[in-house]
Amino acid sequence: MNDFNDRMRRILLEERAKLTGNLLLEHQQFDEMIHQHEIGDSIDEVSTTIDKNLLERLGANIFMSVQRIDVALARMENGTYGVCVKCGKMIDKARLEVLPEASMCIDCQKSTTHHR
């Protein structure tokens, strides 16, 4: 574990605590629900087991953010953190500083958003 990853991990964990902390105020079982799912489950799969209205109320965006953070943390564990999932290049550290949960380099992110 290098210093950079170590620092990013702390930021991610803080951010995650903030996000789930907000959610817990609304629904105490939310964190539990997240843990019932494998990291990388799509929001669709999750929606089938979590009441859809509840999910909407809690905010799918927050849910997705927590998932992204979990994925980033998992990638730290297996040593692929900081590698673009699309092209396999290293993601610019300056980008990770701003967006620690980024899984794509800036170029791939741009091309992905463009095609929407």
- Cβ closer to Zn ion: 20 or 103? 103
- 86 and 108 Cβ atoms separated by less than 8 Å: yes
Q: Which is nearer to Zn ion, 11 or 83 (CB)?
A: 83
Using rule CB under 5 A, residue 27 touches Zn ion: no
CA neighbours within 13 Å on the CB side: how many for 100?
21
- Residue 46 is a binding residue for Zn ion (CB under 5 A): no
Q: Which of residues 67-96 bind Zn ion (CB under 5 A)?
A: 84, 86-87
Residue 84 or 102: the one with the smaller Cβ distance to Zn ion is 84
d(CA 95, CA 4): 13
**Residue 82 neighbours by CB distance under 10 Å:** 23
> Footprint of Zn ion on this chain (CB under 5 A)?
84, 86-87, 105, 108
